[in-house]
Amino acid sequence: MIKFPKQLYPSDLDVYLFHEGSLYESYKILGSHLLSHNEFQGVRFAVWAPHAKRVTVVGDFNNWNGFNSEMERMNNSGIWILFIPELKQGDIYKYEVTGPDGHKELKADPFAFYSELRPATASVIYKLDSYEWHDQKWMAQRIKTDIYHKPMMIYEVHLASWKQKKDGEFYTYQELADELVDYAVRNGFTHIELMPIMEHPFDGSWGYQITGFYSATSRYGTPEQLMYFIDQCHQKGLGVILDWVPAHFCKDIQGLGRFDGTPLYESADPMRAERPIWGTYSFDYSKPEVVSFLISNAMFWMDVYHVDGFRVDAVSSIVYLNHDNPLPIKLKNQYGGGENIEAVKFLKKLNETIFHKYPGVLMMAEESTEWPLVTRPTSEGGLGFNYKWNMGWSNDVLKYMKFDVSERPRHHHLLTFSFFYAFSENYVLPFSHDEMVHGKRSLLNKMPGDYWQKFANLRLLLGYLFTHPGKKLLFMGSEFGQFDEWKYAEEMDWMLLGFESHSNFYHYFKEINKFYQETNSLWRLDHEEAGFQWIDADNADQSVITFMRKGKRKGDYCIVVCNFSADVYHNYQIGVPSFGKYYEAFNSDALSYGGSGQGNSAPIIASKDASHNQPCSIEITVPPLGIVIFMKQTKTRQRGVNINGI
């Protein structure tokens, strides 16, 4: 052990802010950091363990014996510190923590930047400042981008099972940058969302039960390789969203649980600490140091890895004391309610901090209840997110689509109910991994009917996704009609692309995604009531809904007709807002997509017969289990030439 100058200690201000819950770059202070001290090169270790009797640093460098590597407690602050000379990048270590009862436990560093490959669990000394970024243009543009009035199609990916090598080994971040990024670009996605890539011990948790919140998992390579992946995304026009899990952490002995021999990151009240349904511990947001840890973690991924946003997991479990928590008694806050008051304060502080430093990023709440104002600013009483997953829409529409066509008229409300609240929040419409596991089946296999009808239903479902107000998210494999539900230990069934039905569907997905992004009426006013108007919401008997999506400019609209029955309707009358020629701009039933070819090949002249509260009307052919989109013909916009773009 070596004494080192006071200027190499965390400053008194840093320590004060950490204990206040406002040290938002605590990863620069705590953890292991390669530093220079006079003629020595070495590592400064710092860890928060306020109730520990003794903390030592152990590793291969001292034969895992901390006798000569005892840490010094800083001024009764609860932070322990030590400088060890001659250590280098790649050396592995843990903290040997002696709790107040004298029991010793080996703990991974909560702020470690890298970790051993599982099943090994040691932390790895690592510097993160060697990568040379080339995404300056993207980062500068991100600040200026108006995300609310742009198209957004997110590709949700689990890296281990997107694609695997022949021997079942995982692709590295760098190899994925050369395959996955180009694939996402070719298919018209605007963002990639990665399921959690923070270090976790068990593959089957999919990354949602974490031990290393600051450590990019070593399953897929090094931190620099992950940086390369994100850099390549940015250079090719793709944003990167990470799943982030501030609700809970796993109980594995090397992790955060009972870190200093006592409940530290979790509550001292076992009823609040336990998350029985997941077998994990919940974070204790009443502790300022935990708030510093979590907000710093979000800042870390944006600062060091240039990520463009988070899908914040399990927000309902954060804000409610009893959500997904089947305890024998109901927990209550100090006012008798079921809200987690400290957690709500944490989320507001998190979003305020993130948007202050990183304007233009995405903070998406996976919130499944009716908690109000999730996407409103904190100054207006909101939680401060800028997007919320519309899980109600996903649940309703998937429930509806599972019904046989003969049953659908009785459940028509499941299609239309979302419009009662579609503009109450800024929504993302997710068809995520959660809908395709645990026996729920893939999107394709949820669809009723024979094989042809399954694909027709899925084309219709994705058509409804692309035309419904809100941004879009699709789980990997759904773009080509994965038939089996998601299997985290195996790659997707890429061989399906060799079959005509799947190949046609894949072609359909690319075409409708392209049409969506080129048609600004489908996204320009996603979060405003002015961007949507019903033409006919009530035709339950025929299972048809008709509506308009509108852009900002006068006359910028498209008319969407969705037929959820297996019948073809000829001479089907719909109201239109003005006289003139209308043409079929998109049809999911095209032969090239695997459809039956029912459509409207010639422009249709509107009559002045009023219909559906519109002054004019047209008569069209509506394909079976299909979506058809019409536009009004102008000098610059006609069949096959849609230049009404961005």
Within this chain, domains 6-124 and 530-642 share the same CATH topology: yes
Q: Terminal CA-to-CA distance of the chain, rounded, Å?
A: 62
pLDDT digits (tens, 9 = 90+) for 255-301: 999 999 999 999 999 999 999 889 999 999 999 999 999 999 999 99
Band (pLDDT 50/70/90 cuts) for residue 641 is very low
Among 3.90.1170.50, 3.40.1710.10, 2.60.40.10, 3.40.50.300, name the CATH number for the domain at 6-124: 2.60.40.10
Query: What's the fold here for domain 170-522?
Result: TIM Barrel (3.20.20)
pLDDT of amino acid 4: 62
Give the model confidence (pLDDT) of 370-380 as tens digits: 999 999 999 99
Q: Which amino acid is at 606?
A: A
Give pTM, 2 decimals.
0.95
**pLDDT at site 208:** 96
Active-site residue list: 313, 366
Average pLDDT along the chain: 95
Phi and psi torsions of 235, nearest 5°: -65, -25
Q: Does the pLDDT at position 167 exceed 60?
A: yes
Q: Say if CB 382 and CB 414 are below 8 A apart.
A: no
Question: pLDDT per residue over 554-592, tens digit each?
Answer: 889 999 999 999 999 999 999 999 999 999 999 999 999
Mean pLDDT confidence for 318-333: 89
Give the pLDDT confidence of 14-59 residue by residue, as tens digits.
999 999 999 999 999 999 999 986 777 889 999 999 999 999 999 9
Find all residues with CB under 8 Å of 189, minimum gap 6, and list them.
153, 154, 155, 238, 513
pLDDT of residue 638: 67
Half-sphere exposure of 9 (CA within 13 A, CB side): 18
For 302, the token pair is 């944006």
- Residue showing tokens 């100058």: 5
Considering only the top CATH level, what class is 530-642?
mainly beta
pLDDT at position 634 is: 83
Q: How does 285-317 read in b/e, with b if 16+ C-beta sit within 10 Å?
A: bbbebbbbbbbbbbbbbbbbbbbbbbbbbbbbb
For 112, the 3-state DSSP assignment is: coil
- Spell out the domain ranges in the chain: 6-124, 170-522, 530-642
DSSP 538-590: EETTTTEEEEEEE-SSTT-EEEEEEE-SS--EEEEEEEESSSSEEEEEEETT-
pLDDT at res. 635 = 72
Name the more confident of 309 and 1.
309
Strand partners, 473: 154, 430
